[in-house]
Structure 1
């Protein structure tokens, strides 16, 4: 566990809003986006998967139901989100390890993970922090292991006067890809995109260690 008072942005942007996560996910049908991410990740029984910035753990809960033979680990710096994710896993009878830690300080050995997942987390980080997180992903991945990301797409588009959230300004697929490449990941690919009410536009990217 990372013992530190470093600042971070929680899952819903503000700590007091965590209780809104589940209703928000239901209204926006966020599980469908999570499902698309897992389709792309192609996790198999026996593989080890870590999600960085797992929040309340919904991606890992869905993956645990899909692939019961996988080893699942969630990482998040928010103690409240970690507690919530642990409770969810226990209620569902899922064996998921949820750890309090940061994406750039993973409590995992080198070459120990087959997949690193990230869902709507990278836009919470500054560009240098994104690169640091991707560098850690590369460190813990086995050779040929993969990173799979879904995140908000802040690319300006016709008719938009401003971004709905200031952190999305400049948060483009190109910038995410640059962070992956700078971290030493290869075969960086933008492999899908979509748009949903409330959530807005989102993009999928993948890379290989």
Structure 2
């Protein structure tokens, strides 16, 4: 099946909302949550980095500004979002690459990247695609490379105020609990994983969680 034939959920949920996606993400706290993630990471500065589900490129551009010597690729299946990402990079005066593709079928050789990021994308995926995506991340990471996942987190129970119950009513969001994400990372073959912390988003009505997972230190030898 070609990229054009595969279905996907656009970054804004619907193409109609794409023009206001960046402003909405900023107002609701997603941009600040991404900055907080980067503040917790020590970079060498010349890494090969992949941002899966890059959407309109906000995080990829932020990465390139912080790491001008790094080789950064943003990946997304949505050509309309990628067009905005490329324009955003040009306006920011940074040079980086954007590829069209799916996170569960990465078209990169094994052990290519030092670091892989996913920010506010994971909850878009169905359960089987999450498993495939994490296995692909392990495959393309260099030995000892690191995967950082930032996304909305649901609690283990459906208790709480109405907004949390609304989250739990969505099948994909129910899969975004701490225990479920860590279990998926274990099943994918990461050597180590941890939850780094949480941060309120959506004006305190929801929370985002930071996860870190490390690829095995010994090469896997996959092509």
Same topology, TM > 0.5? yes
Task: Tell me if the contact between 1:47 and 1:70 (Cα under 8 Å) persists in the aligned partners.
Answer: yes
How far apart in 2 are the matches of 1:68 and 1:96?
A: 10
Shift of 1:183: 0.9
Q: Partner of 2:182 in structure 1?
A: 177
Following superposition, the deviation at residue 172 of structure 1 comes to 0.5
Partner of 1:22: 22
Aligned to 2:218: none
- How far apart are residue 147 of structure 1 and its match? 0.4
Confirm or deny: 8 A CA contact 2:76 2:101 kept in the other structure: yes
Gaps of 5+ in 1: none
**What's 2:201 paired with?**
196
Q: Pairwise CA RMSD of aligned residues?
A: 1.7
* Structure 2 residue ranges without an equivalent (≥5): 216-223
Match of 2:211 among 197, 205, 208: 205
- Does structure 2 conserve the Cα–Cα contact (< 8 Å) formed by 1:152 and 1:201? yes
Q: CA deviation at 1:33?
A: 0.5
TM-score, length basis structure 2 = 0.87
Contact 2:199–2:209, Cα closer than 8 Å, also in 1: yes
Distance, in Å, in 1 between the alignment partners of 2:189 and 2:47 is 22
Deviation readout 1:67-121 (Å, 9 max, x if unpaired): 1111100000001011110111111111110000000111211111000100011
**Match in the other structure for 2:111:** 111
Q: Secondary structure at the match of 2:75?
A: strand
CA contact (8 A) 2:29 2:202 kept: no
**C-alpha distance in structure 2 between counterparts of 1:52 and 1:94, whole Å:** 19
Moved more, 11-20 or 110-119: 11-20
The equivalences for 1:6-155 within 5 A come to: 6-155=6-155
Q: Is the 8 A contact 1:71 1:96 kept in 2?
A: yes
Please state how far the C-alpha of 1:157 moved relative to its aligned partner.
5.9
Which structure has the larger Rg over C-alpha atoms? 2
Number of residue-to-residue matches in the alignment: 208
